Structure 1
Amino acid sequence: MVLFVTGTNTGVGKTVFSYLLVKALLEKGVKVGYWKPVETGADPFPPDATLLSELLKVPLEEVVSATFRLPLAPAVAQKYEGKKLDLSFLKEEFERRKERYDFLVVEGAGGLAVPIFGDYTYADFARELKLPTLVVADARLGTINCSYLTAAFARQKGVEAVGFAFNNFTGVDPSEKDNPSVVAALTGLPVLFRIPRSRDWKRLKLEPIAVEKLLFLLGGKENPYRPTG
């Protein structure tokens, strides 16, 4: 089972969600892995991959395949740093991990329209590898537009979006109350996860029923309506 995690923008919490999902699956006893095909802004270490490698207790090279120092889109970072990515290499890296784990979380960079090389985007990558995709969005004012556009672009590109995770609920922004229901109505996709803003976010836990629903949507055997007590 595989899930591709994308976002409506950079900095909306893709790694926070990925970390919490991996942690939840580990607690369920699932043989779970995490993979970030490309991480930029690795100066000197890749921050996202480092977090997940520590959680999973695996070497960095197990969770990230290519890194770039500059915090740019992968296609742009390659131009400045003189390194070239190879699609066949990334596909091989994916297949190797897919066979190794029962559940693989794949995290993109930025959003679906971010180019990996040339005009080849993460949307193309997700479609080509047939990756069910969850969109992480910020809960704040403005998320309706960003979320709707991301869902529309996913459909246009043939990406199978399964739902949203809304991050950074503050309890202060009045738009937070209705944003999830409006986005769900506009896109036809469920908002599966609601994650509060927290400085100590590593201690947060995803709602168990939401994890069950995600597994159900991905075709697993878990029943989202199974009693949890």
Structure 2
Amino acid sequence: MNYIVTAIDTDAGKTIVTGLLAKYMLDKGDDVISMKMAQTGCVERSDDIEMHRKIMDMPWQDLDEDGTSCPYLFPFPASPHLSAQMVDTEINPAKIKTAYQTLQKQYSNVLLEGVGGLMVPLNPRTLLVDFIKELNAPVILVTSGRLGSINHTLLSLEVLKSKGIPLYGIIYNHYPVSDPLITKDSAKIIKQHLLCYYPDALWGEVPELNTSNKGLQLENWFV
């Protein structure tokens, strides 16, 4: 099974979530690999793929070295379309899709991490959400309890629903730590609206943690 891990915004925790989900699947005996559509603010190697492999207890792979697991790397830390422009190029979604299909032929499960939020432009003509629809895989949406997450999450649900994109579930990330009152209330409101938009979608929570998954009961993530 393949999933696209996206988020309500940048720095919501989708890299950690992708790595932890992949590790969980590996520990169950599943054949799985992770992938990143594109990454900005780094050169030579994708920092996010390196984080995936660290969490997965997996060494750097040949498919990482040749760029299959992250087809685009840009040094300028900005939206991918702008970072591409800074080096006089443009992201071609077909290149990402080809890499994704290559991994699908080699692995039974592919976890594809997105970039930023759903409305981020990959290039001047293609929004991330439209590319996700083209890939035709269920989405795992990462959100958090930080102030503003209710608005960002409900807008994300609205966009996914309007595009007819299936949602497997929401993962509520407790990092960064927020006021407990805000965290509790945000989770309550988001759960209520999730039932309206996607009544069969699952709900999961990730406690505050570091880059290790030691002691985290991943089988209890989704309920």
TM-score where L is the length of structure 2? 0.86
Q: State the match for 1:11 in structure 2.
A: 11
Q: State the match for 1:75 in structure 2.
A: 81
User: Which runs of 5 or more structure 1 residues have no equivalent in the other structure?
Assistant: 214-229
Q: 1:152/1:204 Cα in 2 relative to 1: closer, same or farther (>3 Å)?
A: farther
**What SS class does the counterpart of residue 178 from structure 1 fall into?**
helix
Please point out which of 184, 193, 207 is paired with 2:218: 207
Q: Which moved more, 1:200-209 or 1:48-57?
A: 200-209
C-alpha RMSD of matched pairs (Å): 2.1
Query: Which residue type is aligned with residue 128 of structure 2?
Result: Y
Q: State the match for 2:205 in structure 1.
A: 194
Q: Does 1:183 align with 2:190?
A: yes
User: Which runs of 5 or more structure 2 residues have no equivalent in the other structure?
Assistant: none
TM-score where L is the length of structure 1? 0.84
Please point out which of 80, 89, 92 is paired with 1:86: 92
**What SS class does the counterpart of residue 159 from structure 2 fall into?**
helix
Q: Which moved more, 1:26-35 or 1:75-84?
A: 75-84
What do the CA deviations read for 1:118-155 (whole angstroms, capped 9, x no partner)? 13111111101102111101123322111101100112
Q: Distance in 1 between matches of 2:53 and 2:69?
A: 6
Identity %: 23
Contact 1:10 1:111 survives alignment (8 Å):
yes
Q: Distance in 1 between matches of 2:170 and 2:164?
A: 17
Alignment size in residue pairs: 212
Q: 1:16/1:94 Cα in 2 relative to 1: closer, same or farther (>3 Å)?
A: same
Q: Distance in 2 between matches of 1:101 and 1:23?
A: 14
Please point out which of 120, 124, 127 is paired with 2:130: 124
Q: Distance in 2 between matches of 1:203 and 1:42?
A: 28
Q: State the match for 2:24 in structure 1.
A: 24
Q: Distance in 1 between matches of 2:118 and 2:179?
A: 29
Q: Distance in 1 between matches of 2:130 and 2:178?
A: 36
